[in-house]
Structure formats: C-alpha cells, structure tokens
Amino acid sequence: MKAIKIILSVLLALLIVIVIAVLLGLRNLDALVEAAIESVGTHVTQTAVTVERVHIELTEAEGALYGLKVANPEGFSQPYIFQVDEVGLQILPSSLTDPVMVLPLVVIDGAQLYAEHAGVADINLQHMLKNIQRGEGEEVKATTASPDVRFMVQELRFTNATLHLLSSEFGQRRVDMQDIVLTDLGDSEEGLAPAQLTRAILRPIMDQAREQLEGQVREEAEGALRERLEDELSDDQRDALRSLLGR
C-alpha cells in the first residue's frame, strides 16, 4: 500500500512538471514562432527578415504575424523589398501533435513590394530570386529558432498588393499586383520544411513582381523610343509609324 502511494506521488509530481512545462511552452510560443520566422527567412532570402509581433491563439486555431519585413538585397537604396502589416493564418487543431502541421488558410493581404530597376540586368527582384534559389537543395539544421517541424498549406491567398516601381531612368510609380492563390503547398504525410515552405511562397510572388516590373520598364522604353522617333520624322512618316504601332 505504501509503495502504491509512493508511485502515485511520483506520477502526480511528474504530471505537475509536465503541465508546467506545457504552460511555459505555450506562453513562449509566440516568441518561438517569431524567432523561427526570422531565422529561416533570413537564411532563405540572404537578407534580414524581421517580425514585429506574433500572436498564435491555439484555442481559436488561428494566428497572425504583424509587421513582416524583408530587407532589400545589398546595393539597393530602399530599406525593404517586401513588407506587410499582417499575415493571417488558420491552424488545423488535430495536426498540432502530428509530424506535419496543417494550415488550411494563409492570407497575405495588402503587401508592399519595392522593385528597383537600375539597369537591364540590375534588378533587386532578380537578386532576391537568385538568393531564394541558391539554397534550394539544402536543409536548415533544426534549432530552437529553426525547429524540426514540417508544414502543409492547403490554400494561400496573396491579395491587394502594391508594387512600387523605382527606376533610375523612368522615375517612380505604383502598380496594383494581380492576386495570387496557391494551393496544396506540401502534403499531410511529408509536408514541407520551413525553408522549403518559405521558398514555395516567396518564389511566385517575386516572379510576378519581376514580370510586372520588366513589362512596365519595357513599355516606358518603347514609349520613349516612339516619342523620340516621332520628333525626328515628317508628318507622313509619323502617321505611318503610328499605324504600324497601333496608335
């Protein structure tokens, strides 16, 4: 009987320790997530990634990242290439104890991208894409700031983003980016490591921004060429040129 009491006392003490550890872990969860995002993001982009605040509400199975910023690659004037006030996400509660955490929905709304064009081959978005692709075959070693956890994102919405075009030749302007919807990033069995998920999200965003920048610069260059040619042509030649260019 005395042995049973001792065993029960030990089990109770262990249970109390476990409960305290879990509570402390949940209390520090926001800070751990923030550290992981900054560590993995910086590794993937090769520039500083910072988050002002993270709030995960496990009881509501949702969370949000506030003040997410990605620094511009070295050599460009703007401090950031990407920033967004808030990223919302949903968490599948039943996956919290699984090897793969499932996020049914991630919403990146109202992001600001700063695309700098300083020459034909000198575009910050191209630099960022090269950085993202450079370590695609690598795995980030698991640490407290870069946990050994895998993810599946069932749907990601990138909406209402603005692309700020900064060109040394054509000045500055703003362009509304097209919305992007990505589905099934990873799967529920193997998922994606944090670095893989970061690349899967950033690559299409940076790709579209680069395409829009190049298209805008191309239009500006063609417009400048047309004006220059028209100034040097006769009236008949100008009319023929406009007809050829559809103007």
Q: What is the pLDDT of residue 18?
A: 34
Rounded Cα–Cα distance for residues 56 and 33 (Å): 9
Q: Indicate the pTM of the whole model.
A: 0.73
Task: Tell me which residue of 137, 179, 184, 186 sits closest to 161, measured CA to CA.
Answer: 179
pLDDT at 136 > cutoff 50: yes
Residue found by looking up tokens 């109390």 in the block: 16
Residue 87, both tokens: 């990223």
Residue 81, classed as helix, strand or coil, is strand
What pLDDT, on the 0 to 100 scale, is given for residue 126? Answer: 85
pLDDT for position 9: 45
3-state class of 165 per DSSP?
Answer: strand
Q: Would the pLDDT of 43 be above 80?
A: yes
Cα–Cα distance for residue pair 127/129, rounded to 1 Å = 6
The two tokens of residue 91 are 């968490």
For residue 12, pLDDT over 90 is answered with no
